[in-house]
Amino acid sequence: MPSPIVMISSYPPRLCGIATFCEEAREFIKKRHAERDVLVISHTDGDGDGVFPIIDMSQRDWWRPVAAKVRQLQPYAVHFEHEYGLYEYHDSRGAGDGNEGFLALLDAISEFPIVVEPHTVHGRLTDFEADFLYKLTQRADVVLFKCHYQKWRLDWSFHGRGWETPRNIMVIPHGARPDRRWTVKEVPKLRKELGLDKIKNLGTHLVGLIGWIQSNKRWDILTNMWEEIAAVIKSKTDQEWDLLAAGAMRDVNHRKDYEKYKHQVDVLESKGLAHYYEFIPRGEQYYKMMAVCDFIVLPSTDETQSGTLARIIALNKPYITTAPMEGLTAQTLESRGGLLFTNREMLREHVINLACNEGLRMELGNNLRWYLDEVVSWEIVAAQYDQAYKKARTASKTNQPVVLPLEF
């Protein structure tokens, strides 16, 4: 049996965007590599076939059992999904270790080909982030950024500190499923499956606020003016448009904002202008909930890349999102599939325009279809991962670092 690809990440059933990302990525990596196992070393709450839930972040030396497992598995390549919070050990005072254990793990398994995919790479780095990325790129064979701007901004940030820019960075976009597209004719069936057909007077046309309900996903920006927007759309089109707000709270620290956002939707619902639908945003139901909407609004105020946007793209749904906002803006410009707003009035105008202009919705949707098929489909991304693994293996065997061109 060929040696396995080993992914190290959080993993379902943990309610975590990285866990869901890893699950989808693993599916398509496995599809491409039918000849070998794709295994996961996860945190202790991970589960499933080929999953080893041994990352125990209550232990300072959590990384030692992980390194031992990697050595036992003798992998073809080790593929990390990285988010700072996933690998931060806190001592009895609550003080964090600055991801020192993560770097120690990379040192401990340095004889194997290592690919690290960090999910948070801000355009303007803090001193801690810059130092961590420097140390990371020194230890990994290949580092994967999601967006091109992250790579050229890193060059600017490192030069500003007098550091040499690492050359082992590849840009591989956030993957999106190519198999979750429903036609307009299938929407009534989906509404029935979700139970939306039982809601009295729910509009034929829906604007979606879909996903995890957290403080940075500012639903209130739209809900505060939805009543007035709905009236304008009605006057222009004589169509009934409702707001579908669907999701759940993931982090108890966001409860105050969750309750505020939900209350605003409840008030609109009492006026027959919106509906709140509680569900866990993962799996096929997540896609179906978006599929019943004519377009999606994603008013985020902090996002370096977005699993929510990946699902919007997978469905070829026109959307409106905040700018300038790191990966959200980058993918909107590259795909030409969404509209950007920088203030409330722009959001208001875009929502009205998109609701009143079916041709524009079709144009944006077709642009997203092209972007999915040609750029971000998981099948394309899995092939790019394969290139990263091969580069990492060559570097590991020859002890010669990967050298890739700078972005600019």
- State residue 250's pLDDT score: 87
* CA angle centred on 21, ends 62 and 309, rounded to 5°: 140
Of 316, 328, 293, 331, give the one whose Cα is nearest residue 370.
Answer: 316
Per-residue pLDDT for 312 more than 90? yes
pLDDT at 88 over 80: yes
At 251 the pLDDT is 86
pLDDT at residue 306 above 90?
Answer: no
pLDDT at residue number 395: 98
pLDDT at 303 over 90: no
Which uninterrupted H or E stretch holds 143?
strand 142-145
Whole-angstrom distance, CA of residue 99 vs CA of residue 88? 5
Q: Quick one: pLDDT at residue 319?
A: 98
CATH architecture classification, 5-175+378-398 = 3-Layer(aba) Sandwich (3.40)
Nearest CA to 371 among 291, 321, 315, 327? 315
Give the whole-number percent of the chain exceeding pLDDT 70. 100
3-state secondary structure (DSSP) of residue 4? coil
CA distance 394 to 311: 34
pLDDT for the residue numbered 304:
76
Work out the average pLDDT over 132-146: 98
pLDDT band of residue 302 (cuts 50, 70, 90) is confident
**Which residues have CB under 8 Å from 399's CB, separation 6+?**
none
pLDDT surpassing 90 at residue 1? no
23-37 tens-digit pLDDT: 999 999 999 999 999
- Give the pLDDT confidence score for residue 174 in this predicted structure: 97
Please give the CATH superfamily to which domain 184-376 belongs. Glycogen Phosphorylase B; (3.40.50.2000)
Alpha-carbon span 116 to 118, nearest angstrom:
6
Tell me the per-residue pLDDT of 4-62, one tens digit each, with 9 for 90 and over.
Answer: 999 999 999 999 999 999 999 999 999 999 999 999 999 999 999 999 999 999 999 99
What per-residue confidence (pLDDT) applies to 32? 97
User: Is the per-residue pLDDT at 175 higher than 80?
Assistant: yes
Please give the angle made by the CA atoms of 221, 319 and 82, to the nearest 5 degrees. Answer: 85
Average pLDDT over the chain, rounded to an integer: 96
**pLDDT confidence tier of residue 201, bands split at 50, 70 and 90:** confident
Distance CA 381, CA 377 (A): 6
Residues forming CATH 3.40.50.2000 domain(s) in the chain: 5-175+378-398, 184-376
Does 200 have pLDDT greater than 90? no
